[in-house]
Amino acid sequence: MKNQRILLSLLLSVSYALAVSAQPIATTVHKVLFLGNSITYAGSYITDIEAYFITRYPKRQIEFINVGLPSETVSGLSEDGHAGGRFPRPDLHERLQRVLEQTKPDLIFACYGMNDGIYLPLEEQRFQAFKDGIQWLHDQLAKTGARIIHLTPPVYDELRGPDKGYASVLDTYSTWLLSQKAAANWEVADLHYPMKTYLDAHRAVDAQFAIDGFALANDGVHPGEVGHWIMAKSILLYLGEKNVAPFSTIKAAISTVPDGEQILKLVGERQTLMKDAWLTATGHKRPEMKTGLPLKEAQDKARQLEEQIRTLVK
């Protein structure tokens, strides 16, 4: 069974590589911003991307900024009783301008959709609110002059999550977003269908052996390590990094680099430090979030971690 899984992963990786077109990061890009919800806030896929770029392009100086906010939507919708009635879902409209003014990114990734259908069956008004929110977001980001790459939402797993019919909602949202590549000449990198393909294929292998244990997200929503790597790999492939296709983990992808795992650990520490600092500095209305260090203090600590990282990549 292990050999079947390895072969399956390799075949899926090749199919991902063939399915994307290369759009590399320009050498003029120095700040990359990630907008999104709790999946982006968790940030493992961002750590994987940053670690890959540091180990492959040690002379490039790129700051990867994570401002993902748990529970957030771009649609402005919130269900009754969200978070046990403690607070409504935060709305990106409230904070976007502050984020852009303070971070001044050259490249922006935006990943919304998972929360925007409010975990209910497909309904036209909710779908329209998502489309309107994405259009508003694109228009606002375009004003900055930054390159914009929309990301389709991760897959929802109905075998692990309680909301039946929601997987097809995210299929619909993802398909619409992908259609904007031709309809509006947007850049859209697909995370949803690579994750769905991977999940379905591994579930099929499990079914052959009467096993029902495989999942990308134990709660149906929030991906674990494998899911975040599929997200990272899909983005890296979109950016032209075809060499990542065969690798099933970020550790495998950087295994030929001396001290690769230590670099990954330090990058993760820096990402954890800075995401809370950026969220606190830019402000938001979601309660129950960790208060980050003052931005300057966090940046000083981040520079110390950077020195350790650069010592290892020399």
- 27-62 burial: b if 16+ Cβ within 10 Å, else e: eebebbbbbbbbbbbbbbbbbbbbbbbbbbeeeeeb
Global pTM reads 0.93
User: For position 311, what pLDDT does the model report?
Assistant: 95
Question: Residue with structure tokens 């994307």?
Answer: 20
User: For position 20, what pLDDT does the model report?
Assistant: 56
What is the pLDDT averaged over residues 28-53? Answer: 98
The model's pLDDT over 175-225, given as tens digits with 9 standing for 90+, comes to 999 999 999 999 999 999 999 999 999 998 876 544 567 899 999 999 999
CATH, residue 25 = 3.40.50.1110
Q: Provide the number of structural domains found in the chain.
A: 1
User: For position 2, what pLDDT does the model report?
Assistant: 56
Label residue 307 by pLDDT band (50, 70, 90).
very high
Residue 66 bridge partners (DSSP): 34
User: For position 12, what pLDDT does the model report?
Assistant: 54
DSSP reduced 3-state for 45: helix
Rounded alpha-carbon distances, angstroms, from residue 83 to 79, 261, 286, 292 = 9, 36, 11, 22
Average pLDDT over the chain, rounded to an integer: 93
Q: Identify the domain containing residue 216 by its residue range.
A: 2-313
